[in-house]
Chain A
Amino acid sequence: MNEGLLKILDAQDWDGIITKLSAYVVQYCKWKRYRLPKGLEPEDIALSAILKTWEGKRAWDYEKEPDLLNHLQTVANSIIINELRSSGAGETSTDGIADRYHAVENTQDEEMYSKQLDEEVSAAMRGDPTLCLVYKALKDGLSPKEIAEEYAIEKAKVQATQKRLRRLATKVIDQLSEVKQS
C-alpha cells in the first residue's frame, strides 16, 4: 500500500463507514433472502470488506471510484457471494444454503418472489397516495431529488416517505420469510 492511500484511509470516518456498510449488508441480505453461513453475521461481511481493502487484497482505486463506501459495497457483495458459494460446496440439503443460492440464481423463481413482494408492499400501503407515488417512482429508478422535482413534493417529504416505505417493505419481507419458513 502506498503512503497516499494510507493517508486517505486514515482520514476516513470509520465509525460511519462501519455502521453504514453493516446496515447495507443487513438490508442486502434481507432483500436478497441470503442466509449467511452459521456464525457469520452481516457486520462480519462488512468488516471483512474493510479489512481486505486495508490489506490491499481488494484494492481500492480511489481515482476511479472516489466513494469508498461504493467500493466497500461492491467488495461486500463479492464476499457474500463467495461465502455462499464456498459454504454451499458439498451441501446436499435441499433447505441448505447451497439450495438457497441456487434458488436465487433461478430467474423464474426470483421473478415470482419479486412479484409477490411488490404485490404485498402495494397492498400494505393502500390508502396512502404519497407512499404509493414514491414507491412507484423509486421502482422506476428515480432518485429522491428527481421525485421531488417531477411531482412537486418537498425533498424532505420524499425522504421521510422513503424511510417509511423502507420500514414497510422490510416488514413485508419479514412476513414473507415467516410464511416461507412455516
Chain B
Amino acid sequence: MSEKKSYKEKVDQLLEAFSELIKEDIEEAREVLRAAGKDPDKIVEKGVKQISVIRKKVIRAQKQSAGGRSAGEDALAFPVFLLDEDTGEVLLSDDSEGLRVLTADEIYALVTEHHVPEGSTVTSPDISEEVQNISFQRFLKEITFTIRMSENEAEVRTMLKGTPIELSYDALQLIFKTAYYLADNRCYPVDPEALSFSKWLVADISPEMTLPLHIALDLFSKRDEYKLLQFDQWSSDLTHIFTSGSYRINTGLFVKDLYPYQHDGVSWLTYCCLNRIGGILADDMGLGKTAQVIALIANIIERSILKNILIVVPGTLLENWRREFRFFAPELVPFIHHGSQRTGSADVLKKQPIVITSYSMIINDLYLFNKISWGLTILDEASLIKNPDAERRTALKVLPSGVRIAMTGTPVENSLTDLWSLADYVQPGYLGSKSDFTSRYAGKNSLDLANSGLARLRDDVSYIMLRRKKEDVLDNLPERIDIHQALLMHSSEVSGYESKRNEILSAATATGSGSHILQMITELRMFTTHPLLRNPAALADAGINELRQASFKFSRLLELLHEIAVKQEKVLIFTEFLDMIDTLKRVLPHLWPIEILTIDGRVETSERQANIDRFSAAGGFGIMVLNPKTAGMGLNITAANHVIHYTRQWNPALEEQASARSYRNGQKKAVNIYYLYYADTIEEVIDERLRNKTALSGEVITVTDTDNMEEYLNALQLSPLK
C-alpha cells in the first residue's frame, strides 16, 4: 500500500502471492508444471524414488553411528563393497539392504577403471572416501580348514591362510558371493581354486561349523589329496584311547553287557575306524572278539562312521555269526552271501549295511566284491591269511576297503612272517616289505632276534594290534567261558538229516512206539556227529579230507584244534559214539604228531587215571577224547583248559558234568567250553535246553527228562530246509 514501493518490490510481492497460491492449491502447482512443459507425475515418481534411497542411507548412517546394530538384526559377517543403483554411490557397509553386493572383480574394475558392473544402470559411479581408503592386497588368499573329530561329530575351524583371521560360517557364505574378505581396511581377494574347494566342503558343514562324522572320516582317509585341509593330531596312546571317552560305545543297537576289557577293545577298534587305521584284534580265544566286533559295528552304524561293512569268516562260522548278531544286536540283521542261491548283483550287496561271506566266496566272487568300496572289512580267523602268497590273501588285499580289521587268537602260529602277513593286510607297508622283514627277523634264533630289534617290532606292532591274554584280564573274566557255535550243514548233510528226521516223524505217527523212536533219534544224533558213522566201512577208510568234506562240524573241530595247538594248550573232546572216538584217535595224529588219549567204556578203570596222568604230564598241545557217559563223573583233568562238546547230549546235566572234568577246583586257567551244534536241527533244541536250564538253575543241573517223548518230537519240527 505504500506509494514508495519500487517496481521490483511490487513484482516480488506478486511472486510471493503466487507462491502462496501454489502452496495452497496442488492443482495450481500441477498447472504451473504442465505450463512449463513438464509432467508432474513423472517428477513425483522420480522424487519419491530418490527420497527412498536417501532415507535408506540416513537409516544406515544412523545405525553405524549408534555403534552397530541390536541383536537379531541381520548384519553381514564383514563389511562389503556395495553399489547403490539409485545414486551410483559405491560404499562400504555390513548392511546390504537393497544395495548390490560387489564381487572382487567388480570392485577392482570399478576402483581401477571406473567400469560399472554388468547389468548396472549406474553411469557415473561415486566411489566413497571409505572405499578409496581400502588397501587391496595383491596376493590371493587361500582358505584353510582344520577338522577335529570328536565322539559324534567333527568341529571345523576355518582360517584365512597367512592371517590370524578365523572365518565364521556366515563369513564363508559371504565370501562365496564376494570372493574377498574385508577387515581392518584391507581387502583380501580369495584364490578361485580355494574358493571352489571351500564351496564344495562347506556344503556339508552346518552353521555351527560341524561336519557329520562319516564325512569327516571320508575326508580324513583322503587327506593327502586336500592341501587346504588339516586334521588335529590323533593320539595313538592306548591309555588315551581307553580313557578319553572319545571312542566309547554309544549305541542302543548293542543290547548286551560287555566286560571292561571288552569296552576297551571296542574303544580301540572304534579308534581304528575313526582314524582309518587297520588293526589286528588278537585277544586270546574265548575273550569275546566277536562280541567286541559286533559292538563296534553297532557303534559305527549308529554313528554313521563307515558304510558297507564286510565280514569274511570261515564257512563253518557263517551261521554262528548270524546268530551272534541276533544275540548281541538283534536290530542288526547281516546279509549272508553264501551258497548256490547267492546274489550276483553288486547293487544288492551295496545296499546291505553288513555283508557276511566266507573266504571261499571272496575268491569265487571277487569280481562282485571288487565293485563295492567297503568302508570296513573284518576277517574272522584271520590266521587263514597267514600265508602271504595264498590266493585268499591276494584276493582280500585287492578288495577296496577303508579300514581292515583282522581277528585272530593266534597272530603268530609258525613264524613271524605270519604276523607280517596280517599286519601288511590291515595296514599295507606298515612293517616294510616282506623281503626286508624276512631278512630282519625270520629264521633267526631268539638271541639273534633280540639283537635284531624284536622289542622294537613289538612296539611297532602294538600300534596296530590289540592282544590281551586271559591272564591279563582274569580279574574281569569268569573262569569259565561258554562258547556256543552254530554251524550250517553241507547240502549233502541236510538231505541225509531230513531223510532221517522224516522217517522218525512218520514212525512216531504210525506206531507211537517210544523205544523205537528213541533209537531213531540216537541215530539222528549219530548223523549230526558225523554222517559217515552210519557207514562204518567208509568211516574206517576215510582220511582227513573226506571226513572234513562230509561234515561241517568236523571241519570246525579241526579249526578249533588248530587254534588250541598254536597256543600249546590241552583240550577234551566229548562224543559218546565209539566209532567217532576211534576215528579221531586214528586221524588226528596225521595233523599233530601227538598221542590221542581216550576214555570210554572200553578203557579199564585202572587205565583211565593213567591216561589222564600221561595227558597231564605231556608238555604242550594235547587232545583227549572222552565218552561223557563214561568219563562224565569223578575224573579230574584240569590240565585241559578247553572242552569241546562234539556230540550233544539231550540231558544238559551230562554236558555240565563233562565240562566239570576241566572246570573244577585246581584249574588255574580260564576254561573255554565250546558247544558245537547244527542250526535248525535237534541240536539247536538241545543247545537251547542247556542255555535255558543253566539260566534257571545256575550251573548245577540235575534234571533228567530223557523220557519226555513230546519234547523230542517237538525238537524234530525244526528243519534246516525251512
Contact = CB atoms under 8 A, between A and B. Distances in A.
User: Is chain B a partner of chain A in the same complex?
Assistant: yes
A26 B37 CA distance: 10
A47 B46 contact: yes
Contacts of A56: 58
A28 B20 CA distance: 12
Interface stretch (B27-35, B515-523, B694-702): B27-35
A51 B51 contact: yes
A90 interface: no
B33 A19 contact: yes
A16 to B, nearest CB: 6
B16 to A, nearest CB: 8
Contact of A138 (B14, B29, B38, B46): B14
Contacts of A170: 35
A141 B1 contact: yes
A41 B47 CA distance: 13
A47 B50 contact: yes
Interface string B4-23: 01111011011101111111
Given A114-B8, A170-B35, A50 B51 contact: yes
A117 B11 contact: yes
Contact of A23 (B15, B30, B46, B59): B30
Contacts of B22: 20, 23-24, 27
B121 to A, nearest CB: 18
B15 A28 contact: yes
B32 A27 contact: yes
B18 to A, nearest CB: 5
B13 to A, nearest CB: 5
A16 B44 CA distance: 8
B43 A19 contact: yes
Interface in B352-376: none
Given A1-B58, A19-B30, A22-B43, A166 B18 contact: yes
Given A23-B22, A23-B32, A141-B13, A51 B1 contact: no
Interface string A41-78: 11100110011001110000000000001000100000
A26 B22 CA distance: 11
Contacts of A1: 58, 62
A114 B32 CA distance: 21
A167 B34 CA distance: 12
B21 A162 contact: yes
A23 B26 CA distance: 9
B315 to A, nearest CB: 83
Contact of A162 (B8, B17, B30, B46): B17
Contacts of A23: 22, 28-30, 32-33
Nearest to B34: A23
If over half of B's interface residues share one DSSP class (helix, strand or loop), that class is named, otherwise mixed; here it is: helix
B30 A114 contact: no
Nearest to B62: A1
Nearest to A29: B36
A46 B38 CA distance: 14
Given A6-B58, A69-B23, A19 B40 contact: yes
A11 B351 CA distance: 66
B18 A140 contact: no
B346 interface: no
Contact of B13 (A19, A41, A138, A167): A138
B11 A31 contact: yes
B587 interface: no
Nearest to A30: B36
A83 interface: no
B8 A51 contact: no
A163 B8 contact: no
B32 A118 contact: no
Interface string A127-144: 000000001001111111
B51 A14 contact: yes
A19 B10 contact: no
B474 interface: no
B183 interface: no
Contact of B47 (A14, A30, A143): A14
A18 interface: yes
B62 A54 contact: no
A12 to B, nearest CB: 9
Contact of A43 (B38, B48, B54, B62): B38
Kindly name the residue among B47, B50, B55 whose own CB sees the greatest number of chain A CB atoms within 10 A.
B47
Given A139-B14, A140-B1, A162-B17, A115 B58 contact: no
A95 interface: no
A54 B23 contact: no
Given A19-B43, A54-B55, A166-B21, A140 B29 contact: no
A8 to B, nearest CB: 13
Given A24-B22, A162-B17, A18 B8 contact: no
Contact of A51 (B6, B20, B54): B54
A51 B21 contact: no
A169 interface: yes
A162 B5 CA distance: 21
Nearest to B87: A51
B538 to A, nearest CB: 106
Nearest to A53: B54
A55 B58 CA distance: 6
A114 B50 contact: no
A181 interface: no
A15 interface: yes
A114 B33 contact: no
Nearest to B52: A14
A140 B1 CA distance: 4
A87 interface: no
A10 B55 CA distance: 9
Contact of A31 (B7, B15, B40): B15
Contacts of A32: 15
A110 interface: yes
Contacts of A154: none
Given A14-B47, A15-B44, A43-B47, A114 B11 contact: yes
Interface in B612-628: none
Interface string B403-414: 000000000000
Contact of A139 (B10, B26, B47): B10
A93 interface: no
A103 to B, nearest CB: 13
A97 B40 CA distance: 27
A140 B13 contact: yes
A46 B36 CA distance: 15
Interface string B305-336: 00000000000000000000000000000000
A176 B10 CA distance: 18
A54 B58 contact: yes
A1 B11 CA distance: 38
Contact of B19 (A24, A111, A140, A159): A24
Given A23-B29, A23-B32, A54 B51 contact: yes
B10 A114 contact: yes
B51 A43 contact: no
Contacts of A167: 35
Nearest to B32: A23
Interface in B45-87: 46-48, 50-51, 54-55, 57-59, 62
Given A23-B28, A54-B54, 12 more contacts: A18-B43, A19-B33, A19-B44, A23-B32, A24-B19, A26-B33, A50-B51, A51-B51, A114-B11, A139-B11, A139-B14, A143-B20
6 contacts: A6-B58, A26-B32, A43-B43, A54-B55, A138-B14, A139-B13
CB-based closest 5 A-B pairs: A114-B7, A23-B29, A18-B47, A23-B32, A139-B10
